[in-house]
Structures are given as structure tokens and as C-alpha cells.
Amino acid sequence: MANIPGAEIPTTKLSDGTVIPMIGYGTGTAWYKRSDDGSTDRALVDSIKTALKLGYFHLDAAEVYNTEKEVGIAIKESKIPREKLFVTTKVITNIKNISQAIDTSLKKLQLGYVDLYLIHSPFFASSDADLQSAWAAMEAVKASGKARSIGVSNYLQKHLEVTLATAKIPPSTNQIEYHQYLQHGNLVPYMKSKDIVTTAYGPLTAVTKAKPGPCDTLLEALANKYYVSEGEIALRWCMDQGAVAITTSGKEQRLSDFLRATTFRLTPKEVKDLSDAGLLKHFRGFWQAKFDKDDRS
């Protein structure tokens, strides 16, 4: 087990003033359940409790993962004060009735509010009006106090522009697949210009399912320099650009090791070198059916 004295996950501030931890524990991907059959995944509950014990107070869920129940059980069993936690969930399955969807999610989570509520993807919409009406419903959720902050996920610049055109409250974050091999062209700079924080899922892709690749040599060299793993370098690359990183593991050792990403910073040149090397390859791990093979948006 990594022994990291004083390791604490740093935070950043969203546009509405909400403070969000920059590393979150995700309950999708490996933990995803295809249906909500009422069963409880005790392995997930125990893994969330382990993550909480290690200091991962940012928990990322979604109605479509069918893991909100386990998040709620883990929170209750951990006995950690609610104010120390940052809980995110997302809506897509019940996007046509967002006011009911948030109530259902809160019941499963056994919470009175979430810290962040996201529209999981823009692909439900058949028109600009669909995006705008859904966002108005999200604003109502925030006004009700059931979500401290509201945002989106998997939005491209065109979806953000449509949403912002009628928004009274702008999205505070856009959670996107983000790593060296999927940098999304102008999307992240555009988001920065609108004070929308990037949240990255799949941040370890370059060191896991996208290997081998042009970043391999540099990732290895940086891992040796900072006495960490390549995964921690990948996390740090996100954080040093102001992005929140969502990761997961069922292994306590690995979760503990990830915290080493909080103990160093990459230099601006190292961040740029990794970014430049990443542009030599394109890899999209999610939503492939929505994009052409070489579409890097």
C-alpha cells in the first residue's frame, strides 16, 4: 500500500462557487449494471467504502449505471458526514421528466441533495429546443435545492452553444472522455472561455486500452522521474490543466497509489509534450457509434 503522508485530493471551484475535489471515484465502467434488478453489488459497496476511507470524497454515479443504490448504502455505512462528501449523478434514461428523475436518484442515494447533477449526453435531443428545455428543467432542480450545481456530459461545442443561448444558469462542468489521445480540438479552450470546468472520464486510457502509442516513452520517463506509475502521470496531466479526473478501481492498492498524483506537478513543458505526442494518435473509448472513425471532436 502506498504510504502518502498528508496526501489530500486538491479541489477547484466551479462557476457557481461550488468546490469540487479534482479526483473522483467512478461507479460506471467496470461497475455498470445492465439492469436495475433490485440486487445489491456488495463488492461495489465495499469498494466505495474503501475509496471513502482513503479520502476519495467525490463519488460519481448515474441513473443509467444502476449503481446509485450501492453509493447510497456505502455512504450510509461509512458514517462520513454529508458535508464532507461530493456526490454527482446524471440523468438520461428519464430525461423527459427530470424533476421526477432527480427524486428517484435521491431516493436510491438516500440523500436530500446531490452536489452535482448532469445531463448524461446530448444525444437524446432531436432539436435545439430539446436541449434548451432539458436545461431549463435542470435549472429548476438547482432552484429547488436538490442539486447544488448543474452541468452536462458528452456535450460538444455546438451543444453547449445551443444550451448557453437560453440558459439563465450556465453549465458548471462538462464531463467528457478526455486523455492524451482524445483532446477534442477546440472544445476544452472553448469551455475555459465560458468558465465551464472540464471533468475527464477515461483519463487513464493512454496507459491502459490505448497502448501502444506515441505517449508511451514519455509516460515511462515521467513515471521514472517522479517515482510514480504511468497512471498517476496521466491523472496529473488532467489536473495540471485544471480538469477534474474521474477514475475507478476495485483494488485498494491501486486506489491508494493513485493518490500519489496529488504529491507532484508536471512542468508546463511536460504537459505540452504529452499533449503534442497525444495528437499523433486518435483513440475514442466511448460513444464510437456517434462519431466517424477519425472524428476528434
**Active site members:** 65, 120
Three-state SS for 246? strand
Rounded CA separation 211/9 (Å):
27
**C-alpha cell, 35:** 439492469
| Inter-residue contact 122 to 152 (CB < 8 Å) | yes
Rounded CA separation 69/89 (Å):
12
Radius of gyration of the chain (CA): 18
Rounded CA separation 183/282 (Å):
9
Label residue 251 exposed, middle or buried (CB < 10 Å: 0-12, 13-18, 19+).
exposed
Query: 10 Å Cβ neighbour count for 12?
Result: 15
- C-alpha distances out from residue 216 to 34, 125, 283, Å: 34, 38, 14
Rounded CA separation 238/34 (Å):
29
Three-state SS for 157? helix
